[in-house]
Structure 1
Amino acid sequence: MSDFDRFQTPYHNLRFPDPQETVSNDYSTCSGCTELITETDVVLGKVLDIYGMCVHNDFDCVKKAVEAKIINL
């Protein structure tokens, strides 16, 4: 019996999960609203790439990301 057997107990696996075993669905953060963008959003086409920034395909998010202003004439 070796000293490494203590790391294979159910207690250890429950309290100290291996971070490499978890699957992450996170892709990036929206540059406009700073909410999380998932890989599913990218596949569904809900995300734009503007000047290297990931932005939701929404007018308000795009406006905040590029710091655009509306000018009333």
Structure 2
Amino acid sequence: MPTIVVEVMPKAELLDPAGKAVAGALRREGGHPFSDVRIGKRFELTVDGEVTDAVLEQAQKLAHEMLSNSVIEDVVKVTVA
């Protein structure tokens, strides 16, 4: 069965406390090239049947209305896996 993947990230202008905590741990660990971390969410929607344009449109609507909080998050990608 096909899967639609929805990725949601905190808005760039907002603080990401969980990402900051992980970035701090990475700095303490040292020995890597990473300077910042942002933590988001990934949703996998299993589709019964074919992924049509209408199904993708429904997933996009669901992503914006239920899976993300538009005040603090952006839907960055809705793709078929």
Question: TM-score band, normalised by the shorter chain?
Answer: under 0.3
Q: Which structure ranks higher in relative contact order (CA pairs < 8 Å, sequence separation ≥ 6)?
A: 2
Q: Which has the higher Rg, Structure 1 or Structure 2?
A: 1
- So what's the TM-score if we normalise by structure 1? 0.21
